[in-house]
Structure 1
Amino acid sequence: MKGSQDWRQMAVIGSLDELTDLLASRQGLYVRWSLGPHADLPVPSSRDALTGVELPGLSANPLDVEEWWGERPLRTWAARRLYDYSHLPHVKDGRVRPWLLHGTEAGRGPDNEPLVRDVLPIGWVDQAVITEAEEEIEQQQGAWGPLDRH
């Protein structure tokens, strides 16, 4: 996978192992579930779904490994970060897809999620990666479900 400055020609991350390799080699990556950079970057802000308040950055989920994760597999961490929000295309819009970005945290949203600005799109996360993430999570003892509030 090659990162691209042109979001219209964005690369595709095709496997969970490819994503894991990216996380091992780079800090400051986030995953965002949306229609993509073409919809998000002209005015890089999110809105609070409950109040409609405009937020000072794009709502995204951090991919950097937390210290408390210890020596557990990075592959499982990556799977967890994708799996937690994999319900979004079903509850928001079927066109919503995950994409990787690098950015600077500008604050926190109403769900304590990072709000990211100075966004550099890295690549789309292929549906095959989501399928692999689901399989990885199903192998875990006491597997959990995505964070679907509905």
Structure 2
Amino acid sequence: MSAAADRPTSTLLVIHRLAELAALVRASPGLQVRWSEGPAQDAERTSIDTESGLRLPGLSVNPLDAESWWTRPLEDWLARQLSQYRHLQEENPDRFAWVLRGELAGRGPDCEPLLSNPEAIAILDEQLLQEAEDRYRGEFDAGRGPEG
């Protein structure tokens, strides 16, 4: 049994495989991923910029739609997006990855989208996150910095 199945959000769809997530993203553009304590805890709050202490006008998220310049498989994009922020769960075990949609309320200090009026769609199972991490490590030069 996954940790996500024990959470109060267990009535949400739980996605177990990267291919399932890719199918969902293809069928429903505009989905985002968030690492937090979950939709119920985020329902009445917004994100905070930890460096300035300022309350942001929405929840910090990361897009699941691939950019137009992306020519690799969608599963590679998803693996990269999920692996880049998995450390948030490692820093706080109460956090988990969940999929949502909402209205763009602005951009955060790292240029991440900020969503208002979030609608929870699904929870990402640990099996999927491990599959994404394995794919990321296998298909990318993980950790290499940008070139001009």
Report if TM-score (shorter chain) is over 0.5: yes
1:47-62 alignment, distance < 5 Å:
47-62=48-63
Q: Residue 31 of structure 2 aligns with which residue?
A: 29
Please report how far the alpha carbon of residue 143 of structure 1 lies from its aligned counterpart in structure 2 after TM superposition. 2.4
CA distance in 2, matches of 1:62, 1:111: 13
Give the residue type in structure 1 aligned to 2:78.
Answer: A
Q: Percent identity?
A: 43
Matched, 1:139 2:141: no
Q: How many residues align?
A: 138
Mark the runs of 5 or more structure 1 residues left unpaired by the alignment. 1-6
Matched, 1:69 2:70: yes
Q: Residue 117 of structure 1 aligns with which residue?
A: 116
Please report how far the alpha carbon of residue 8 of structure 1 lies from its aligned counterpart in structure 2 after TM superposition. 6.1
Mark the runs of 5 or more structure 2 residues left unpaired by the alignment. 1-8
Q: Residue 42 of structure 2 aligns with which residue?
A: 40
Q: Residue 4 of structure 1 aligns with which residue?
A: none
- What TM-score do you get using the length of structure 2 for normalisation? 0.86
What is the RMSD computed on CA atoms of the aligned residues?
1.9
CA distance in 2, matches of 1:8, 1:136: 26
Q: For 1:13, which of 15, 24, 30 is the aligned residue?
A: 15
After superposition, give the CA deviation of every residue in 1:38-85 in whole Å (9 maximum; x if it has no partner): 110123x11011121110000000111101102x11111111110110
